[in-house]
């Protein structure tokens, strides 16, 4: 049986991906900052597959490496890495943006992804196989008004994904990215700092993607024959045509 390590597994796309991969008999290392939620998910899935939890913040380099180094032998071989942890903070013009918000987005979306990948890649290189899925965003393909630093962080994910694919090719490691449009998760609640009314308005008037939609796509990608590498995939809800064009009901 294969083993997948998923960051940001306590909610949204990460949690749904863990549930979906368990259906394919893939053992799981689920990672996040909220131990109680990790424990609940472990309890839910342990009757189907083996599940191990790691509680750390991807921004904390030392914690990332210590946590991954602590994996027990039965979870020592990571076949699939889902770099899902990410966030947006604020939606402000660059001239009025918060430096703390900028730091959070760069530290989590870019540096956190790199830390986790750095901890896992040597194992994949040694075994001459592996599959890395980087969860990007349409914001990494199109800059939108007030998106500035968030978009920059996701453009970085897009570039890192391409660089990884080039550098790891010689080791037989598959690398690909999935770039969703509007997915209804806790994303907007975090971006708008728990302003639920503003967050809810983002998804009103149309049918957004769900975390389960993206999890289904991830499971498809990782279960293809090993000769197949889905390198770069953009997915929108039907109502969305670009980062700024969404058909909403009047």
Residues sharing a CB contact under 8 Å with residue 147, sequence separation 6 or more, in sequence order: 91, 139, 243
Give the active site residue among 15, 115, 150, 203: 150
Quick: pLDDT tens for 63-86: 999 999 999 999 999 999 999 999
What is the rounded distance in angstroms from the CA atom of residue 199 to the CA atom of residue 205? 13
Share of the chain above pLDDT 90, in %: 92
Kindly indicate the confidence band of residue 250, based on its pLDDT and cuts at 50, 70 and 90. Answer: confident
Give the active site residue among 15, 115, 154, 155: 154
DSSP annotation of 224 reads: S
pTM above 0.85, yes or no: yes
Exposed/middle/buried for residue 76 (C-beta within 10 Å: 0-12, 13-18, 19+): exposed
Residues sharing a CB contact under 8 Å with residue 46, sequence separation 6 or more, in sequence order: none
Whether 199 shows a pLDDT value over 80: the answer reads no
Side-by-side strand order, sheet with 80-83: 51-55, 27-32, 3-6, 80-83, 130-135, 173-180, 232-235
Do 43 and 20 contact (CB within 8 A), yes or no?
Answer: no
Q: CB-hemisphere CA count at 13 Å for 6?
A: 30
Quick: pLDDT tens for 136-172: 999 999 999 999 999 999 999 999 999 999 999 999 9
Kindly indicate the confidence band of residue 201, based on its pLDDT and cuts at 50, 70 and 90. Answer: confident
155 in catalytic set: no
Whether 195 shows a pLDDT value over 80: the answer reads no
Cα-based angle 10, 230, 243 (whole degrees, multiple of 5): 65
Query: What's the pLDDT at 197?
Result: 78
Quick: pLDDT tens for 208-240: 999 999 999 999 999 999 999 999 999 999 999
**What is the SS3 assignment for 29-71?**
EEEECCHHHHHHHHHHHCCCCCEEEEECCCCCHHHHHHHHHCC
150 in catalytic set: yes
- Going by C-alpha positions, the residue among 175, 229, 186 that lies closest to residue 211 is 186
Do 84 and 13 contact (CB within 8 A), yes or no?
Answer: yes
Query: What's the pLDDT at 121?
Result: 98
The more confidently predicted of residues 202 and 117 is 117
Residues sharing a CB contact under 8 Å with residue 15, sequence separation 6 or more, in sequence order: 9, 37, 41, 211
């Amino acid at each position: 049986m294969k083993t997948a390590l998923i960051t940001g597994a306590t909610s949204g796309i990460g949690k749904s991906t863990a549930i979906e991969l368990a259906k394919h008999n893939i053992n799981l290392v689920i990672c996040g900052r909220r131990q109680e939620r990790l424990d609940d998910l472990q309890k839910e899935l342990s009757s189907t597959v083996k599940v191990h939890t790691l509680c750390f913040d991807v921004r904390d380099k030392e914690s990332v490496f210590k946590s991954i180094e602590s994996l027990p032998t039965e979870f020592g071989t990571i076949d699939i890495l889902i770099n899902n942890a990410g966030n947006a903070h604020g939606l402000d013009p660059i001239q009025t943006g918060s430096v703390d918000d900028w730091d959070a987005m760069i530290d989590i979306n870019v540096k956190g992804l790199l830390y986790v990948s750095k901890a896992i890649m040597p194992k994949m290189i040694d075994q001459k196989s592996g599959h890395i899925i980087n969860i990007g965003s349409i914001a990494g393909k199109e800059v939108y008004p007030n998106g500035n630093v968030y978009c920059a962080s996701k453009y970085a994910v897009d570039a890192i994904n391409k660089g990884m694919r080039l550098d790891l090719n010689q080791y037989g490691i598959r690398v690909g990215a999935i770039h969703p449009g509007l997915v209804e998760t806790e994303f907007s609640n975090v971006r708008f700092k728990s302003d639920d009314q503003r967050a809810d308005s983002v998804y009103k008037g149309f049918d957004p993607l769900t975390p389960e939609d993206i999890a289904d796509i991830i499971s498809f990608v990782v279960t293809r024959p090993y000769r197949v590498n889905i390198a770069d995939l953009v997915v929108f809800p039907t109502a969305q045509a670009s980062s700024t064009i969404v058909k909403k009901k009047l």
